[in-house]
Amino acid sequence: MERVRSVAETLDYRPNATAQAVIRSTSRLLGLVVPDIGDPYFSSIAKGAQEASARNGTLLLLAGIDGSTGDELRAFKALVSQRVEGIILAGSRCDGPGFHETTLLLAEAIERYTRSGGRVVTVGEGILANTPGAEFVLRIQEEERAAELASALAVRGCSRFTIVAGPELVRQSDRRVSGFIRGLRESGAPMAKVIRGEMNRAGGLKAGQEVLRTIRDQQYGMRHGVLSVNDRVAMGCISALSAAGCESPRDYAIGGFDDIPQVQDFWPLLSTVRLPLQEIGARAAEIAIGEDVDCVLEGEVMLRASTTAPVRSVGKP
């Protein structure tokens, strides 16, 4: 054996990973598909998955997609061609035009892949409605925590509400909006106005203009509550309102969702639902590798400065 090692060093021999995968029926590769790797939500999940993969001696292959119809399917097939042992799909499902057909094609590809021994982990919701058990679904308690955050704003003096949501039929946004509405209803709060737009800072900036008109139209002494489907939307909304001289928590209360790292350097400190983003990625990677871990993750409502009681300037009634 020592002689073999000596010859290998002399010839600068390097193992052929493809050949080893064929012999061992394993590649020590995992795949991760995420939309918009620049989004702190997805980059944090990717970091957690990468660290968990490294701890298990597995290399993570990252496929970033733009969210268009068919893009996720192409990424999935590309990872399968690399003989990965497992694939994590971290994006939210969409039921809009053009997505239903490609989702069915993706489901067929997943079934073929899992029948050949691969493992598929989906984050938030499943894909194989007709083949339960063929995929591993990492569920996150989004709706429950959204209801809790909405209730917290309802008892902090807010009498009118706006929900800043994502596009229609995006399931992650719809789950959170459903939770917000449930929490407000259970707290006896009035029905909220729902504004839809992109789930990023630009969408929040645009929504902020509409929220501003609502705040200016309301009676003096009333306090507005804003619930955003993610932190980037909330931060964009705050920026638009601040530019117009409308400040939180003085003039309105606002909450986000996810607790992305950027929230720590933003003012006012944003109330939000903290999701264990890196743990989500790590847990998904562990499941894809074959470890037996819990498939349900909880969040936590974090109440900070953006939802504290309003402070009125001297002389105000």
Residue 234, both tokens? 């909330």
Mean pLDDT of 272-289: 96
Mean pLDDT of 171-185: 96
What type of residue is 2?
Answer: E
Beta bridge pairs of residue 185 = none
Residue 175, both tokens? 């789950």
Residue 76 has pLDDT above 90, yes or no: yes
Residue 64 has pLDDT above 50, yes or no: yes
Q: Check residue 36 and give its pLDDT.
A: 87
Beta bridge pairs of residue 87 = 31, 120
- Tens digit of pLDDT for each residue in 192-229? 999 999 999 999 999 999 999 999 887 666 789 999 99
d(CA 100, CA 191): 31
Question: Which residues, 6 or more positions from 314, have their beta carbon under 8 angstroms from its beta carbon?
Answer: none
- Taking alpha carbons only, the member of 142, 168, 185 closest to residue 275 is 142
Mean pLDDT of 275-294: 93
Mean of the per-residue pLDDT values of the chain = 87
What type of residue is 164?
Answer: V
Mean pLDDT of 225-235: 98
Q: Check residue 3 and give its pLDDT.
A: 60
d(CA 18, CA 100): 35
Mean pLDDT of 186-191: 93
Which carries the bigger pLDDT value, residue 314 or residue 210? 210
Mean pLDDT of 85-91: 95
Q: Check residue 5 and give its pLDDT.
A: 56
Beta bridge pairs of residue 228 = 164
pTM of the entire predicted model: 0.85
Give the alpha-carbon dihedral of 44, 50, 53, 55, to 10 degrees. -90
